[in-house]
Amino acid sequence: MLKATQLSVGSRLKPLDLQVGAGECVAVLGPNGAGKSTLLAALAGLLPFRGHVAWQGEDLARIPFLQRGRRLAWLGQESWAEFDFSVRDVVAQGRYAWGEDGRGVEEAMALLDLTHLAQRPVTQLSGGERRRVFLARALTTAAPIQLWDEPASSLDVRHGLEVYALAQRKAAQGSCLLVSLHDIRAAYRFSRVLVLEEGRIQGDGPPHEVLSADLIRRVFRVEATFTTSLVPELPVIRS
Amino acid sequence: MKLLALFGTLLALALVLSLALGDSWIPPKDVLWALLGKGDELTRTVLWDIRLPRTLVGLAVGAGLGASGVVMQAFFRNPLASPGLLGVSSGGALGAVAALAFGGGALGLFLVPLASIAGAFLATGAVLLMARRGASPEHLLLGGVALNALFGAATSFLLAVSTASLQVTGQIIFWLMGGIENRTWEHAAMALPLILLACAWLLPLARAMNLLALGESGAQSLGVDVRRLRWELVALSTVLTALATAVGGIVGFVGLVVPHVVRLLAGPDHRRLLPLSMIGGAALVLLCDLPTRFFSVGLRLGVVTALVGGPFLLWLLRRRPC
């Protein structure tokens, strides 16, 4: 569904090949400056890059801009806002490429626990709430390819878990997701992890195979101990 | 919709007053008759040859500056941006001041606005050249600072040199304070059609501007051709500023205060912000032009817009903090 061939961006991303199929949910890991954001932005066509990127089998360069908005959604790392649009206005922007028909806006707000904030100006939200607004905007596009750059970075425990659960559900429905994150432990919730370091792929596969103590030491420069410890989970029945 | 009706009424009122008020008061009924080509000849002459062109120029200047301010603020994602930011109006000022300093004021009415257009478009060209190379907003902003400094220095130099003739100095200072007195149909024809065209071009871009206001990459990911949009916005806003400056001189504050006031009243959605700022800008300039008719020395349009706009903005900010 998403395919990159010899994709590179200056010195930030060395030429790499990558293929992510429908129904796959990939965690992208790596230390600061490893190229996670660069990879996601290049795959989304937001950066000038070398090599080829194809969405659903079609060369990105041939896809008109408006079409891109229907096929791929990208959540950037920063979600600041200078103008006081309401939460609903921002979420509804996800339908730009569909003529702002308002479809799925209420559902996306409900999914990300924003319904009670719908009329609030985005300038008056906390960092985590704003993050959820921009994630809801990405969901509203109904795009089959979703690229999220550290979606859970400023979220509390529960909303963070919900975002990961949401990613799994989207994949189960046939979407293709790439989600960058810093919490190595959270990567175990994904079926596939991609580890980047200095713009190169250092590991790609199921978390239990890829995330060895050796790789973690080499890439992240920390010693990892594998134990059973506190792992928060969402209750099966949501309140 | 209520706001649109309110602003529309305000503009209609401003238009009527602008046609009716002056050295002689023409009752609105007679204004209508004279517009239809009836009534006595003196009234018709005053209306058609003096007040109507002046009013149309005011309309063009106000709408152009209001729209240009909205565009600059969306483009720079900063509610403090204004039409003069990229150096276009100071380019226009330099052109006009150069024409005046070299005695152009005596050589007919059009040399000064034409020179101003030349200066403003020179600045526009420089800005577009930067934008075309894919310069970031921050880059363009710094370029605008450089152009403003450069044109400002040249203008100051010409002003200093011109002090040999008090009359020329007076003309320059008057022009720099903005004003739409003694405007003719030629001035109106120079500015109004192009300003209306640029405004009409802007309106369908409102949805994309909403996205741009919340970040470029996000906008592009949602389906906006950001490179093209940025180019269109810079081109349209500089052209609007250039034309408004050429026929109205430096009319400060309209491009900053009008979008602000509209945003406080109507919210940040550009589908409302753009048309309301065009209408509001036109109404503000026309209303601010009225007192200048009775104090021909001293009270200039640019002075009145700042005198009215400054306190009004302060009052709004006090009532509703951002």
**B227-235: long-range contacts (C-beta < 8 A, 24 or more apart)?**
B227/B134, B229/B205, B230/B75, B230/B131, B231/B128, B231/B131, B231/B132, B232/B201, B232/B205, B233/B71, B233/B74, B233/B75, B233/B205, B233/B209, B234/B75, B234/B86, B234/B127, B234/B128, B234/B131, B234/B140, B235/B124, B235/B128, B235/B131
Q: Which residues in chain A touch residue B217, judged by CB atoms under 8 angstroms apart? A: 41, 46, 74, 76
The mean pLDDT value for A22-36 works out to 96
> CA A88 to CA B160: how far, in whole Å?
56
Summarize pLDDT for A149-162 with one digit per residue, the tens.
999 988 999 999 99
Share of chain A above pLDDT 90, in %: 89
> CA A82 to CA A124: how far, in whole Å?
10
Compare all CA atoms of chain A with the CA of B77 and give the residue at the minimum distance. Answer: A82
In this model, does residue A125 exceed pLDDT 70?
Answer: yes
Distances (CA, A) of B267 to A120, B200, B215, B322: 12, 21, 18, 11
The mean pLDDT value for B290-300 works out to 83
Kindly indicate the confidence band of residue B181, based on its pLDDT and cuts at 50, 70 and 90.
Answer: confident
Q: Is B227 on the interface with A (CB under 8 A)?
A: no
Angle between helices B28-35 and B2-20 (to 10 degrees): 80
Write down the domain spans for chain A: 2-80+143-220
| Number of domains composing chain B | 1
The mean pLDDT value for A49-65 works out to 96
In this model, does residue B141 exceed pLDDT 90?
Answer: no
Q: Is A78 on the interface with B (CB under 8 A)?
A: yes
Summarize pLDDT for A158-204 with one digit per residue, the tens.
999 999 999 999 999 999 999 999 999 999 999 999 999 999 999 99
Distances (CA, A) of A234 to A165, A182, A187, B122: 9, 20, 16, 62
∠ at Cα B173 (B167, B174), nearest 5°?
85
- The mean of the pLDDT values for chain B is 89
Q: Tell me the CB-side half-sphere exposure of residue B313, using CA atoms within 13 A.
A: 19
pLDDT of A217: 95
| Contact assessment for residue B155 and residue B265, using Cβ atoms and an 8 Å cutoff | no
Consecutive H or E run containing A14: strand A13-20
Testing the interface with B: which of A82, A93, A100, A122 to mutate, by most B Cβ within 10 A? A82
Distances (CA, A) of A79 to A126, A135, A153, B52, B244: 11, 9, 11, 49, 36
- The mean of the pLDDT values for chain A is 94
Q: Tell me the CB-side half-sphere exposure of residue B109, using CA atoms within 13 A.
A: 12
In this model, does residue B170 exceed pLDDT 90?
Answer: no
Question: How many CB atoms are closer than 10 A to CB B161?
Answer: 13
Top pLDDT among B126 and A136 is at A136
Residue window 182-211, chain A: list those with CB within 8 Å of chain B.
Answer: none
Residue window 155-214, chain B: list those with CB within 8 Å of chain A.
Answer: 207-208, 210-211, 213-214
Summarize pLDDT for B183-231 with one digit per residue, the tens.
889 889 989 999 999 999 999 999 999 999 999 999 999 999 998 998 8
Summarize pLDDT for B108-120 with one digit per residue, the tens.
667 888 898 889 8
pLDDT of B322: 47
pLDDT of B108: 65
Domain CATH for B64: 1.10.3470.10
In this model, does residue B128 exceed pLDDT 50?
Answer: yes
In this model, does residue B309 exceed pLDDT 70?
Answer: yes
Residue B216 C-alpha, separation from nearest chain A C-alpha, in angstroms: 9
Which residue from B111, B143, B112 is spatially nearest to B129, judged by alpha carbons? B143
Kindly indicate the confidence band of residue B75, based on its pLDDT and cuts at 50, 70 and 90.
Answer: confident
Contact B211 A44 (CB under 8 A): no
One CATH from 3.40.630.30, 3.40.309.10, 3.40.50.300, 3.90.550.10 for A2-80+143-220: 3.40.50.300
Domain containing B88 equals 2-319
In this model, does residue A147 exceed pLDDT 60?
Answer: yes
- Report the complex ipTM: 0.92
pLDDT of B84: 85
